[in-house]
Structure 1
Amino acid sequence: MVSTDLNKYRGSGVLIVDMKRSSVLLVYDYTKNYNCCGGNMKYNYDDPQCIEKTAKDELYEETRTLISCDIDQIMTCPFVDLDHKNSIFRCYIFKTECPSDICQQFDNVKLDENTMDADYYETTAVAFFPLNQFKHQKSLLSIDKNCEAKQIDGTLSPLNQRVISVIKAAIKENLF
């Protein structure tokens, strides 16, 4: 087993890759951009699975419970580590087949303020973005420069720099 200094990690998350559509499913979050699921470390660094548990929780919360996986699934996913200001954000690449109506399901989730904490309210929409636009150097340069990409329906939408960095690193490592 490789020894990892867990204290270097500030957070973790999940990039959902829908294999059926050859797209990424991104969440529209509080930054007013589409992003991968992710957040700051939620568990004590004494827990050897704190990175994976945080990623699992972020996936569950930010998709409003519609997509989930267990620790064993997360641990088998490839990942990228992004360096940021002397800390690392780990993003797992979770390949799955999303339900065809997941965007509508997301819109129809009834959140109960009495049983769900504020983390479930961080995202307000989900959308598919075709992978092919990220795989071509010219379009990827434009996406990186403008922080915008096309949804599956052709709508141009803002992307968070974190998800752009995750996608670029995943492409560089041939993880799609």
Structure 2
Amino acid sequence: MQSKQDKFLSEFEPLKKNLWRFCISVSPTYEDAKDLLQDTIETAYIEFEKLNDSRTFLSWMFSIASRLNHARFVKRKRTELVSDDYFDLIESEELQPDSIYEIKLLYKALDKLPIEQKEAIVLCNILGYSQNLASEIQNTKLETLKQRLYRGKIQLKLLMSLEIKSSDESQIITQRGSNEEIR
């Protein structure tokens, strides 16, 4: 007979990478992401015996992470700026500098979204989970999740276009300054 720890680990192993990505995506700092992951695992392990159906383990784990993250968000305002180390966690060695820059813009814009919209976008569009599963994780109706996705994407598009525009303007000013120095 398998021990509680062995059962838990066999269920947890296949989803740990995506759970880590979720924690990274919804947390303002690397340390917060580590704390969220550890708290999620601890809570899940303690409550593991209460899980009736192992087929719901994935949504159960993400629900725990989502609730813990939301509780942290409510307790304190996020005042810490995102460090550049945060973006080093993006998994890809073949990305071009432009792609890395765009991903950084995306994550900075994601941080400005309401927490429910951010989680919905991360679950469905970054991690690739179905909308049904994401609505179960967020403990909401499917229509509510779709609304969060729609509104979040519109707001994300606006935030990213504003960021790109302001970035382009600062590059033009920098180029003008260097051209004047040459003369």
TM-score, length-normalised on structure 2? 0.33
| Bigger Rg over Cα | 2
Structure with more helix by fraction: 2
Larger RCO (CA under 8 A, 6+ residues apart): 1
TM-score, length-normalised on structure 1? 0.34
